[in-house]
């Protein structure tokens, strides 16, 4: 694992709140997104959710459609990744809080791997 979950040195405490139930919001989009992998191999979407104007860290990704950049998490929610990967301070804060709450002390950013696999699906479609 290459990254360490560490508290921000900004001295700013931002709240982490409950999210809408999946039944009320079964589909959400993420921009400025990343994919993080924790030591047990679980992967999570991290990004900014424009519908709710908040940073998000998803539950474990259960199924990923690399061509469409869409995934279903263990909660049953469907996430649509929009645009290219990126970074967002709200998403970063949410991810670090999620790590602290869940006692995750190390993780790996696998976004580049996911993006490369996505681009490969586009190359395959063009060559078919």
Distance CA 47, CA 126 (A): 29
Q: Which ranges of the chain does DSSP label H, i.e. alpha helix?
A: 89-101, 111-127
For residues 103-118, average pLDDT: 97
Query: Which range of residues forms the domain containing residue 104?
Result: 27-127
How high is the pLDDT of residue 10? 36
Residue 18 falls inside a structural domain: no
How high is the pLDDT of residue 128? 56
Give 29-63 pLDDT, tens digit per residue: 999 999 999 999 999 999 999 999 999 999 999 99
Give kind and range of the element (H or E) at residue 112. Answer: helix 111-127
Residue 21 falls inside a structural domain: no
Residue 20 falls inside a structural domain: no
How high is the pLDDT of residue 122? 83
Whole-model pTM over 0.95: no
Residue 33 falls inside a structural domain: yes
């Amino acid at each position: 694992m290459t990254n360490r979950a560490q508290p921000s040195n900004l001295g700013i405490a931002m709240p982490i709140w409950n999210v809408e139930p999946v039944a009320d919001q079964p589909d959400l989009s993420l921009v400025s997104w990343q994919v993080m992998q924790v030591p047990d191999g679980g992967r999570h979407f991290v990004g900014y959710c424009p519908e709710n104007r908040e940073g998000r860290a998803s539950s474990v990704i259960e199924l990923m459609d690399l061509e469409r950049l869409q995934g279903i998490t263990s909660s049953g929610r469907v996430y649509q990744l929009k645009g290219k990967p990126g970074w967002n301070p709200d998403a970063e804060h949410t991810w670090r809080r999620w790590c602290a709450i869940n006692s995750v002390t190390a993780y790996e950013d696998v976004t580049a791997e996911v993006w490369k696999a996505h681009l490969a699906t586009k190359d395959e479609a063009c060559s078919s």
